Amino acid sequence: MKCEELLQYLSDYIDQELDEELTAEAQEHLATCHNCRVVLDSTRQTIFLFREQGKRNIPAQSRNRLFSQLQAAFLKSAP
């Protein structure tokens, strides 16, 4: 799995909505890719913050904004 693919699946991965095969691929990638782990952590934190505020799900709009910010930051840090 490539970083771009992982980012695409990240929200489903966090929600544990990926199928087994993709989950395994994502885990494998995360085990070897520091950048993606950082992105995963910050995404998770954001999602937890929303949930602490009593919102079960991040509104799609905020979620999309979050992911595009992450993607931009991530692409900037990529070699």
Q: Which residues bind Zn ion (CB under 5 A)?
A: 3, 33, 36
- The nearest distance, CB 22 to Zn ion, in angstroms, is 14
Rounded Cα–Cα distance for residues 10 and 75 (Å):
15
* Closest to 67 in 3D by CA, of 48, 49, 42, 50: 42
- The nearest distance, CB 52 to Zn ion, in angstroms, is 28
Rank residues 41 and 51 by Cβ distance to Zn ion and give the closer one.
41
Rank residues 3 and 73 by Cβ distance to Zn ion and give the closer one.
3
**Directed axis angle between helix 34-52 and helix 3-14, to 10°?**
30
Rank residues 23 and 50 by Cβ distance to Zn ion and give the closer one.
23
- The nearest distance, CB 49 to Zn ion, in angstroms, is 24
Other CB atoms within a 10 A radius of the CB of residue 16 amount to: 7
CB-closest chain residue to Zn ion: 33
Q: Which two tokens stand for residue 48?
A: 């937890």
